[in-house]
Structure 1
């Protein structure tokens, strides 16, 4: 695997130190309470799991053109990354890390990497350009696929207010102008849509690390 200075967890810890100092204790407490509530609620009972088969889904590429989920999958295995949007610093950090540490390994194995969010194609294009991403980034309009996979959530009301205090709103980025978002999720999928690995994170500050992903791909 290419040399990387840190894991995603290490980078998140470093980011959180600066972010907490920047936004102050009150807003930090709001986000901490949201994360605690998500963790306490646990994984949805109907969340996608290994052994499931993905449903058909109509997606959009970053240019706004229609792409079926079936066409987005590779001839072999595909790694699907569901992320909240380019407004989410944890998502941006993760996608950039996957670009640097995961994509080269998958390319050697002939495995595709595809990222999916509910944000507009324009916002997806921004994620691609800002992160220097060289893998496919798609939009799931209205979270139609995410709903079928049982990984739909939304920021708490207090978190939405905190977002507003920081100058943004999730709905402004989403294709359907709602605050609905997916739990950060990584799937390893066969060409026929069968899921062989699923890792759903209810705490959006945690993500699937590259070694675990590669182990699932190689299994």
Structure 2
């Protein structure tokens, strides 16, 4: 089963209210409204694309160690996946799929990291629960996500819904901005140029990890 097939199956069960999910129809309608409005806003047009130069960044790993994109690129191509947080089941399923593909990425010479606005404590939880052998770096305030053109602010009605559902992003993320990254995945060559970019304002849609392999292999042939 592909990643998207797994996501679609989860989405169908969630919407059907199958145990353990008991979500009122108005909650689903509100989530759908927010996704539709984000798509219509043109936010996708701000995201970096293949051929753009990726911004340099340095962020903390779950253990507090600073991780520099430039240091990683000195070792080979870099795969970056933007992750909303431990509370998002779609995101966790994506992380698990990336973990399954990790050996193929490494064989192609690439490093893999995820970037999330959540705190390091929650990133440690994500790594543990999803059985990851790659780090989730903490991007407080979605600063790096903004540099990639992915950050967006939640509308007031969605903030109210999240609050009522006890999905308190300020607690998860350690800041009060109520912002998230659009899910995005990038392959960056050692010269800093993005070789692959896939961004979708619909958080239920994710590309297959294997889709990146041609770009990873091509980037590995070009040294900085």
Q: Same fold (TM over 0.5)?
A: yes
- State the alpha-carbon separation in 2 of the partners of residues 185 and 122 from structure 1: 22
Match of 1:3 in 2: none
Greater Cα offset, 136-145 or 178-187: 136-145
Aligned residue for 1:135, secondary structure, equals coil
Displacement over 4 Å in runs of 4+: none
- State the alpha-carbon separation in 2 of the partners of residues 58 and 159 from structure 1: 31
Match of 1:98 in 2: 98
Greater Cα offset, 70-79 or 13-22: 70-79
- State the alpha-carbon separation in 1 of the partners of residues 126 and 91 from structure 2: 10
- State the alpha-carbon separation in 1 of the partners of residues 6 and 38 from structure 2: 21
Change in 2 beyond 3 A, CA 1:74/1:26: farther
- State the alpha-carbon separation in 1 of the partners of residues 140 and 116 from structure 2: 8
Measure how far apart 1:152 and its partner are.
Answer: 0.8
CA offsets per residue over residues 95-134 of structure 1, 9 Å max, x none?
011112x212112212111111111111111110010001
Change in 2 beyond 3 A, CA 1:177/1:43: closer
Q: Is the 8 A contact 1:58 1:140 kept in 2?
A: no
Alignment coverage as a number of residue pairs:
213
Change in 2 beyond 3 A, CA 1:125/1:177: farther
**Unaligned runs of at least 5 residues, structure 1:** 1-5
Q: Is the 8 A contact 1:78 1:189 kept in 2?
A: yes
Q: Is the 8 A contact 1:117 1:140 kept in 2?
A: yes
State which of 6, 21, 34 in structure 2 corresponds to 1:11.
Answer: 6
- State the alpha-carbon separation in 1 of the partners of residues 73 and 65 from structure 2: 16
**Unaligned runs of at least 5 residues, structure 2:** 219-224
Match of 1:177 in 2: 176
- TM-score normalised per structure 2: 0.88
Match of 1:36 in 2: 36
Measure how far apart 1:195 and its partner are.
Answer: 1.0
Aligned residue for 1:188, secondary structure, equals strand
The correspondence of residues 88-167 of structure 1 with structure 2, limited to 5 A, is 88-100=88-100, 102-167=101-166
Q: Is the 8 A contact 2:4 2:207 kept in 1?
A: no
Measure how far apart 1:172 and its partner are.
Answer: 1.2
Change in 2 beyond 3 A, CA 1:86/1:79: same
- State the alpha-carbon separation in 2 of the partners of residues 160 and 43 from structure 1: 19
- TM-score normalised per structure 1: 0.90
- State the alpha-carbon separation in 2 of the partners of residues 157 and 15 from structure 1: 27
